[in-house]
Structure 1
Amino acid sequence: MIVALIVACEVGFWVLLAAGLALRYLAKMPKTSAAVLLCEPILELVLFVATAVDLKNGAEPDWKHGLAAVYIGFTVVMGHRTIKWVDTRVAHRFAGGPPPVKKPRYGSARTAYEWKEAGRWISAAGIAIALLQAAVWYVGDGGDVESLRAWQHRMLFVIGINVIIALTYTIWPKEAPSGTGEKERSGTDVEERSRTWPSMSKR
């Protein structure tokens, strides 16, 4: 049941996102589209409650409960960013919005970008670890929590990998080829540009 619910939540996320975009750019109903997108967190809440109820009813904690915690952690952190990513591209394609800004490729701008990306993944993994720990405490000493601990170890691995990737760009920053004259944008520049267009996420 838990796996099916995870799949349903993922499908529901994209259905709500598509509905929100259609309401804004096709039906010209921005307030209604924002209301639809506000339903997104309900999916994670439903999954969280269902997982807790399943454990309360005596189900042995296994990889499915761990996967639910990981899914919630990552959608909490990445969900809003995914909505903005899709919204920016749809706005550019259908509503005359500015083109999406590409990630910087060189120098300090790329280093800052990589640390921001690492921060998002670390935050998502951290939330997952906290939810997994809550499940461990919920099950108590009498239950088998080995599968939940295994998921925590995987999340620590995710954190470590992202820190290493960001550190490589800090220690060995990627330099632009000489003579290209390419102007890099920092993460702040990207945020400033996004504020010039009324994105769905701000309505």
Structure 2
Amino acid sequence: MDSPVLLVIIGCEIGFWVVVVAGLVVRYGLRAQRASTIVLRLVPAVDLVLLAAVALDLHAGAQVEQIHRIAGIYLGVTVAFGHAIVRWADVRCAHWFFDGPPPPPRVKHGPAAVRREFAEFGRWLIAALVAGGCILGLAATVADDDQARDLFGIFPLLGIITVIWFATGPAWALFDQGNRARS
């Protein structure tokens, strides 16, 4: 492994979950709602660590590898899906450990499922925009011309993920709803 960015991504993923668990412990274990909200708002700081690590690696002259592009996708996903992941963990923590109500069942068919798939796809589009924005920002600020060109390799990958996500999410949900309506 030539780049330390993979280790930083792993560290950031661990850091994300440490912050989430700490926030939930403060919320439910210490019964401090306001303090837990403050702790949970530290999640974006983890993302800044990763962005800084990638910027420093590029500034030091590292050759762009796939991991640099994946770091952009990781950042986009944590920004776009982070709040939903925290909400998901919060509901389950309350239910499993503190006698909270059970999470609502996941709707698998019908208009509600279609809306959910479009909402998730919308989050992915936000993630892709954030990833692209991070890459463009890195290319404009710390990357040399060769690094910038190599960083732009993220855009075909984002396009492929977007097409697959749309086909397996919203399009499939619409197709499934149409088939069930005809049955």
- Give the TM-score range, shorter chain: 0.7 to 0.9
What is the rounded CA distance, in whole Å, between the counterparts of 2:150 and 2:100 in structure 1?
46
Which of 145, 170, 180 is residue 175 of structure 1 equivalent to? 180
Are 1:157 and 2:169 matched, yes or no? no
Once the two structures are superposed, what CA deviation does each residue of 1:125-181 show, in whole Å capped at 9, x if it has no partner?
Answer: 22112222333334243x1445423322111111111222312322441538x9xxx
What is the rounded CA distance, in whole Å, between the counterparts of 2:55 and 2:133 in structure 1?
14
What is the rounded CA distance, in whole Å, between the counterparts of 2:60 and 2:144 in structure 1?
14
The residue aligned with 1:184 is none
- Report the AA paired with residue 74 of structure 1: V
TM-score, structure 1 normalization: 0.78
Structure 2 counterpart SS, 1:157? helix
What is the rounded CA distance, in whole Å, between the counterparts of 1:105 and 1:69 in structure 2?
31
User: In the TM superposition, what is the alpha-carbon distance from 1:107 to its structure 2 partner?
Assistant: 1.8
Are 1:25 and 2:28 matched, yes or no? yes
- Report the AA paired with residue 170 of structure 1: L
Are 1:116 and 2:109 matched, yes or no? no
Are 1:50 and 2:17 matched, yes or no? no
Are 1:60 and 2:54 matched, yes or no? no
Q: Percent identity?
A: 33
What is the rounded CA distance, in whole Å, between the counterparts of 1:71 and 1:148 in structure 2?
14
The residue aligned with 1:37 is 40
What is the rounded CA distance, in whole Å, between the counterparts of 1:133 and 1:153 in structure 2?
14
TM-score, structure 2 normalization: 0.85
Are 1:107 and 2:110 matched, yes or no? yes
What is the rounded CA distance, in whole Å, between the counterparts of 1:60 and 1:95 in structure 2?
49
What is the rounded CA distance, in whole Å, between the counterparts of 1:17 and 1:113 in structure 2?
24
**Greater helix percent: which structure?**
2
Which of 98, 108, 114 is residue 95 of structure 1 equivalent to? 98
What is the rounded CA distance, in whole Å, between the counterparts of 2:67 and 2:117 in structure 1?
31
Aligned pairs, number: 177
Larger Rg, first or second structure (1 or 2): 1
- Unpaired runs of 5+ residues, structure 2, are none
The residue aligned with 1:126 is 129
User: In the TM superposition, what is the alpha-carbon distance from 1:24 to its structure 2 partner?
Assistant: 1.6
What is the rounded CA distance, in whole Å, between the counterparts of 2:102 and 2:164 in structure 1?
31
**8 Å CA contact 1:132, 1:152 repeated in 2:** no
- Unpaired runs of 5+ residues, structure 1, are 179-203
